[in-house]
Chains A and B, each alone.
Chain A
Amino acid sequence: MNPKSFYLKNDGYTIIETLVALVLLISVLIPLCVTMGNLFLDRSADVMSYALGIAISEMSEVETNRDFTARHHYLDYHLVLSRETIPMQELVEVKITITSANQANKPVLTISKWISSRPQIFK
């Protein structure tokens, strides 16, 4: 191959092809990175599991101690636990709500249970 023919060749990466490839890569990569970032930063499943564990523990405490007073207290993950009790004759409806401290009107979790207000023993 002589030098003349090398300079006359038109094969290789065209600017158009490179640009199209770059645009494609960027248009996929940016949303992908954002989504992946959000997914890895998303701890809603952890928060939900944590909230559920706390709520179950709170309900067990109410049942064991027969403590039917209402109360609020702060938890990890900027969560707030609210215990509400609605007495009805010999029964009490216990509602445990866990909300985010930032979004008080949007509960993460609510569980409720009817409990007899009478102390009980099981074997």
Chain B
Amino acid sequence: MTNSEVTNYQIFKREGGFALPSIIFLITILTMVAGSALSIVYLRKQISLREIARVKASYAAESGIVRLLHQYGDSLADETQVADFSEDDGSQSHVNIGRWGALEIVRSMGSYQNMTIERTALAAQIPPPELDKALVFANSSHQLVFTGASRIVGDIVVGQPGTSIGELKNYPSPIVVPVKGSIDRRKIPELPAFNPNPIKKEIEHYLDLLAERGKRGSESNRVMDSSANGSNNYNIGRVQDSTDYIYFSQNTILKDTISRRGKPLHILVNGTATLSKSIRLSGLVVVIASHMITVEQGAEIDETILFSQDSVELESGAQVTCQIIAPSIRFDANSVAGYPSILYSCCCGLSDTTRQRITIGPHAKVEGTVALFSPRSIPQTSDNLILISLGATVTGAVYSTGGVTLDGSVIGIVMTRDFYFYDPPTTYLGWLRSADIERNLLSPEFLLLPEFGNQRIYAILDWI
């Protein structure tokens, strides 16, 4: 008999108890089961607590934005750009306000326990009380003359010469002055105060970026001369999230989709930029071009800024929601800029201001603010002109330090130094032939391009 056989024999022959080891084994199994159940319950509770923390941090971030905007509007101090807020429930927010084109951008970091949530919003201005009028005709030298089917629903401000009815070939003359509202005749009617400097600073910043050819920031966050390969087509979808600047040294056609929520993307084009029908731009994206920007029909542009030193043109049928800043802006027939859009004509650092013009073609629609600010001390009515064609509609505010040719409709406010149109062989100043202004139909929630009036109150225009 070998040793192993002896051992096995002895084991099988042993009749010692196995109760204690079996109970310990059982207890171990039960403890493990209980431990697993405990962890599941614990995890579920942790998930609930985490979700609560996430909601509290998110609400803190949003509350911070609302509170800063309220504070910012009250103080009107440029240095009030950063603020910290604490809530009763222990959540906190760190908020800062800056510029995003013609609008304010507010970023807020809400935190609760270990959870942090970032929220970003675009802010604009609540129309001040002086903008409750349908029309401010800031011209003391001649009358406001109505002919054809022109009419105004709302209160108006005019100069001392007041209003009258005129006769024009091919247009019927109204029997009475077609104004459903009060007529305030002022000795020196003035346009509501508007501070162009913040937008001017933004424009200077864009021009600097263009002049620097995108050489700002570290090399890792820019794409240089992307068109150097000879092709003028560029798929922006391949741009990495870390990229801040893309520079093109020639005329470029942009395609594909990009969306930015966190850090902005600057697309700099030294030439013309064409936003093709397949492009989808949304969020914090700025397209800066030295020459014309063309938006093709089918392009989808949301929250983006389009800045050109020359002009921006929306092809017939194009639909966007964006800020357009350029000396000349042209909306072809049936193109649409949805709320909240801003069309701002400026001289963009060039001495030649004669190109300042905003043209809204037949049946085109703009929802937001259409503004033309000329740096000239005495703007030329015919050169610095907003032209709203027959059938076109602007819902919001129209502001011009030059003139306005208003043949279409405005649901909201018109503020201008003069009205202008040319019907051969005569130039008509102060005449309205088919204008329709209805102040009462403008929603009370409408927000205006900031910098109007002396006392400003800001509100959230859009969440990004």
Contacts and interface: CB of A to CB of B under 8 A. Distances in A.
A52 B17 contact: no
Contacts of A12: 15-17
Interface in A63-120: 89-91, 95, 109-116, 118-120
B30 A32 contact: yes
B51 interface: yes
B59 interface: yes
Interface string A1-26: 00000000101111001101110110
Contact of A29 (B20, B30, B444): B30
B52 to A, nearest CB: 6
A21 B22 CA distance: 9
B81 interface: no
Among B66, B88, B321, B461, which residue has the most Cβ atoms of chain A within 10 A?
A: B66
Nearest to B74: A89
A98 B152 CA distance: 52
Contact of A32 (B34, B55, B459): B34
Given A45-B44, A111-B89, A121-B445, A24 B23 contact: yes
Nearest to B45: A45
A52 B19 contact: no
Contacts, number: 117
A12, A25, A114: which has the most chain B beta carbons within 10 Å?
A114
A17 B19 contact: yes
Contacts of B52: 48, 52, 109, 111
Given A111-B56, A111-B89, A123-B462, A45 B41 contact: yes
Given A113-B62, A114-B63, A89 B70 contact: yes
Contact of A115 (B23, B31, B66): B66
Contacts of B87: 112
B211 interface: no
Interface in B24-47: 24, 26-27, 30-31, 34, 37-38, 41, 44-45, 47
B20 A17 contact: yes
A11 B66 CA distance: 83
A113 B59 contact: yes
A83 to B, nearest CB: 14
Given A24-B23, A45-B41, A122 B463 contact: yes
B226 to A, nearest CB: 31
Interface residues of A, number: 46
A40 B33 CA distance: 13
Most A C-beta atoms less than 10 A away, residue of B16, B51, B52? B52
B30 A116 contact: no
B71 to A, nearest CB: 10
Contact of A17 (B17, B49, B66, B443): B17
Interface string B415-443: 00000000000000000000000000001
A13 B19 contact: yes
B27 A25 contact: yes
B246 interface: no
A111 B16 CA distance: 65
A20 to B, nearest CB: 6
A48 B59 CA distance: 18
B31 A28 contact: yes
Contact of B48 (A28, A40, A49): A49
Contacts of B49: 48
Contacts of B446: 121
Contacts of A114: 62-63, 66-67
A81 to B, nearest CB: 15
B16 to A, nearest CB: 6
B236 interface: no
B460 interface: yes
B462 A122 contact: yes
Contacts of A89: 70
Contacts of B174: none
B339 interface: yes
A28 B27 contact: yes
A120 B459 contact: yes
Contacts of B22: 21
A90 B41 contact: no
A25 B338 contact: no
B48 A91 contact: no
A120 B16 CA distance: 83
6 contacts: A42-B41, A45-B41, A59-B59, A113-B59, A119-B445, A122-B462
Interface of B: 14-17, 19-20, 22-24, 26-27, 30-31, 34, 37-38, 41, 44-45, 47-49, 51-52, 55-56, 59, 62-63, 66-67, 69-70, 87-89, 126, 321, 338-340, 443-446, 457, 459-463
Task: List the 6 closest pairs (A to B, CB-CB), nearest first.
Answer: A11-B15, A114-B63, A45-B44, A121-B445, A48-B48, A13-B17
Given A12-B15, A24-B27, A49-B48, 18 more contacts: A9-B15, A12-B17, A14-B17, A17-B19, A18-B19, A22-B23, A24-B23, A25-B26, A32-B31, A42-B41, A44-B45, A112-B89, A114-B63, A115-B66, A119-B445, A121-B445, A122-B460, A122-B461
